[in-house]
């Protein structure tokens, strides 16, 4: 008996997540029930639904906070091993990407706030600085985005050539650059201003207009365009 792994099948039929989803649709399931389907089997002492509830309690944000949990944090839960932790992280990343793609399809870039709306949740909790380039068409719809560098963002490491290779390959007319400050404070540094001016100078030569450089903090942002820097 000690080796028996408990599953959602231990629940009454009308409470099993699989059956509930088939009968009523995914929208009726709780966050824990949806996560239990991903986890599949439980531990020797707990059902998958119990493990799912423990995962959701690892942070104060519940399901929305799973994206910020590390594999090591997930594996600290008894019954969540390497494979289950990877599965949970994968589904969290898929959720983030779906949310971002839906936002991109619905939003035309009309202001710095519309860019921040798309990228805030993706970038606000990153532990390192990430510099992205966002490529736009003639109507300021997003074509795609690309991460240019990870780590300390400074003028000596950011090559304008790499930025505009992406822009030209994708036939972009305009670009926006953005990066995050892990400190949570989006106040631009002298390096941020230097990077902006280098890319702005290159954009004028190449003919792909730099619309803005946006710095993402923790729930707030700063537009260098609004500050008259680009």
161-168: which pairs have CB atoms within 8 A and are 24 or more residues apart? Answer: 161/202, 163/133, 163/199, 163/202, 164/202, 164/203, 164/206, 164/208, 166/133, 166/135, 167/133, 167/135, 167/206, 167/208, 168/206, 168/208
Write down the pLDDT at residue 106. 54
Q: Computed from CA positions of residues 162, 166, 126, 192, in that sequence, does the dihedral angle turn out positive or negative? A: positive
Write down the pLDDT at residue 3. 47
Strand order in the sheet with 142-150: 142-150, 130-136, 174-180, 209-216, 221-223
Residues of the chain with pLDDT under 50: 1-4, 6
Write down the pLDDT at residue 13. 54
Write down the pLDDT at residue 21. 87
- Is residue 122 within 8 A of residue 102, CB to CB? The reply is no
Write down the pLDDT at residue 157. 65
pLDDT digits (tens, 9 = 90+) for 160-211: 888 899 999 999 999 999 999 999 999 999 999 999 999 999 999 999 999 9
Pick among 1.10.1060.10, 3.40.50.920, 2.30.130.10, 3.40.140.10: CATH of 109-223: 3.40.140.10
Write down the pLDDT at residue 2. 46
Q: Helix, strand, coil proportions of the chain in percent (round to 5)?
A: 50, 15, 35
Write down the pLDDT at residue 125. 82
- Is residue 221 within 8 A of residue 112, CB to CB? The reply is yes
């Amino acid at each position: 008996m000690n080796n028996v792994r408990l599953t959602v099948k231990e629940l009454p039929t009308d409470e099993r997540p699989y059956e509930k989803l088939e009968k009523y649709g995914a929208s009726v399931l709780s966050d824990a029930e949806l996560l239990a389907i991903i986890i599949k089997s439980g531990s020797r002492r707990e059902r998958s639904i119990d493990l799912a509830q423990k995962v959701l309690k690892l942070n104060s944000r519940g399901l929305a906070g799973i994206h910020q949990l590390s594999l090591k944090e997930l594996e600290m839960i008894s019954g969540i091993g390497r494979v289950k932790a990877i599965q949970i992280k994968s589904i969290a990343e898929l959720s983030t990407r779906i949310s971002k793609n839906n936002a991109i399809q619905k939003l035309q870039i009309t202001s710095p706030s519309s860019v921040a709306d798309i990228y805030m949740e993706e970038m606000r909790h990153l532990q390192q600085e990430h510099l992205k380039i966002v490529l736009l068409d003639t109507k300021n719809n997003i074509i795609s985005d690309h991460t240019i560098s990870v780590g300390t963002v400074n003028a000596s490491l950011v090559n304008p050539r790499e930025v505009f290779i992406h822009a030209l390959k994708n036939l972009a007319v305009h670009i926006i650059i953005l990066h995050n400050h892990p400190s949570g404070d989006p106040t631009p540094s002298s390096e941020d201003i230097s990077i902006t001016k280098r890319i702005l100078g290159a954009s004028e030569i190449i003919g792909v207009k730099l619309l803005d450089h946006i710095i993402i903090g923790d729930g707030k942002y700063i537009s260098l365009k609004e500050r008259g820097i680009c």
